């Protein structure tokens, strides 16, 4: 019997009420989100540099601490990339424990071997087994896609990857940007004491910028800040104040002539792609508990000369300011006197859109 609550977010933002505070406190909802939203979404795994060489195997856990799905990327000897289950089909042992360059894969529990494409190869002491091997003895293939240099995977995708990321690609058409290089010294993780959805909601509106982020407000034109909504994503455009760092774009760009300081892309449910003139800051939001979230900042730089300028400067300070406010909101969600709020029709279209998607996914069986 399904006991998970139902949610209604009025499509008219002028009348709509937010998700109730009980959503953020519910153990049932937290568990339901795993299979109804996160298992059906595209999750960023890594960039292609992790599997550059034929023969490379790269194990990972999808949303460690939440989904905890053991998976594996391989590049076979024919230079083809695969995403596979990282669980041996004999007795369920984790097959690959660390990255390596190999000709095939061998389980160290009982010696079962697999080709780099996941096909069963051999198994000791099984000469007398009937109807063996079966198709089930191969490693399961997992849907994955490569977008630019980034690899995404999904356990059971609801939507085609291209349909989700097409709008992102279109927005970057005509933007003059060089090759991006991962910068580990500018990348880090943050632990935030709040429900993951509260962190996402905070990201999805520029409403709080003048009140929470004084340094960002100095370089962003708050009055010109806009939000564009797409099916499973949204884009916030940060317009630079006069004299501040902005993108160089040519005539084919849909934003040609605008002084854009940042493209803030959100991909449902938990990915942010923040494009600045210096490169890309990726935020991956990982639920660890209903009141604890891990936020990973991954930094890719294309122009070092523009670092620490404009909207893309001081990201650590902005993050700490965001943490402080969303942790206060988390405390507020425990109140006996608060249930739902109202949206600003002018400033909170992104939050309204996010809540409607959550309700849609959770309400469907």
Encode 257-313 in three state secondary structure: CCCEEEEEEEECCCEEEEEECCEEEEEEEEEEECCEEEEEEEEEECCHHHCCCHHHC
- Rounded to an integer, what distance in angstroms lies between the CA atom of residue 76 and that of residue 59? 14
Q: What is the CATH number of domain 44-146?
A: 2.102.10.10
In contact, 72 and 142? CB cutoff 8 Å: no
Domain 162-363 CATH class label = alpha beta
Instruction: Decide which of 2 and 353 is more confident.
Output: 353
Averaged pLDDT of the chain: 96
Burial class (CB in 10 A: 0-12, 13-18, 19+), 186: middle
> Strands 113-114, 120-122: parallel, antiparallel or unpaired by DSSP?
antiparallel
Return the pLDDT at 2: 53
175 touches 247 (CB < 8 A): yes
* pLDDT classification of 146: cutoffs 50, 70, 90: very high
Sheet holding 144-147, edge to edge: 43-47, 150-153, 144-147
Owner of token pair 């153990």: 27
Q: What is the pLDDT at residue 54?
A: 98
3-state secondary structure at position 72: strand
pLDDT-based confidence at 3, cuts 50/70/90? low
Confidence category of residue 178, pLDDT binned at 50, 70, 90: confident
What phi-psi label fits residue 191: left (phi over 0), alpha (psi between -120 and 50 degrees) or beta?
beta
pLDDT by residue (tens digit) across 17-65? Answer: 999 999 999 999 999 999 999 999 999 999 999 999 999 999 999 999 9
Q: What is the pLDDT of residue 1?
A: 45
Angstrom distance (rounded) from CA 33 to CA 45: 19
CB 138 within 8 Å of CB 118: yes
Among 305, 48, 47, which residue's Cα sits nearest to residue 178?
Answer: 305
Pairing, β 81-85 against β 113-114: unpaired
Per-domain boundaries in the chain: 44-146, 162-363
Please tell me the predicted confidence (pLDDT) of residue 365.
62
């Amino acid at each position: 019997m399904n006991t998970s609550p139902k949610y209604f977010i009025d499509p008219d933002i002028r009348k709509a009420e937010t998700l109730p505070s009980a959503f953020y406190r519910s153990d049932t909802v937290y568990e339901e989100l795993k299979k109804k939203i996160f298992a059906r979404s595209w999750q960023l795994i890594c960039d292609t540099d992790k599997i550059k060489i034929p023969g490379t195997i790269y194990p990972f856990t999808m949303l460690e601490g939440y989904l905890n799905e053991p998976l594996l990327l391989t590049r076979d000897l024919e230079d083809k990339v695969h995403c596979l289950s990282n669980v041996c089909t004999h007795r369920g042992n984790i097959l690959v424990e660390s990255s390596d360059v190999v000709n095939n894969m061998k389980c160290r529990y009982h010696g079962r071997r697999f080709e780099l494409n996941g096909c069963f190869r051999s198994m000791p002491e099984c000469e007398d087994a009937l109807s063996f091997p079966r198709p089930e003895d191969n490693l399961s293939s997992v849907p994955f896609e490569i977008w630019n240099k980034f690899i995404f995977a999904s356990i059971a995708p609801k939507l085609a990857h291209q349909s989700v990321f097409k709008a992102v690609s279109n927005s970057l058409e005509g933007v003059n940007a060089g090759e991006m290089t991962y910068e580990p010294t500018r990348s880090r993780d943050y632990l935030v004491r709040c429900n993951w959805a509260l962190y996402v909601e905070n990201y999805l509106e520029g409403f709080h910028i003048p009140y929470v982020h004084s340094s960002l407000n100095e370089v962003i034109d708050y009055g010109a800040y806009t939000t564009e909504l797409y099916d499973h994503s949204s884009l916030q455009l940060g317009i630079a104040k006069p004299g501040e760092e902005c993108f160089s774009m040519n005539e084919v760009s849909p934003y040609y002539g605008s002084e854009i300081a940042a493209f803030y892309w959100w991909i449902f449910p938990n990915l942010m792609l923040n494009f600045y003139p210096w490169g890309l800051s990726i935020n991956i939001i990982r639920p660890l508990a209903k009141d604890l979230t891990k936020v990973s900042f991954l930094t890719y730089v294309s122009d070092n000369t523009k670092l620490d300028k404009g909207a893309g400067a001081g990201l650590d300070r902005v993050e700490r300011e965001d943490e402080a406010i969303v942790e206060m909101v988390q405390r507020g969600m425990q109140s006996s006197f608060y249930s739902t709020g109202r949206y600003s029709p002018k400033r909170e279209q992104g939050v309204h859109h996010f809540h409607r998607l959550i309700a849609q996914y959770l309400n469907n069986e």
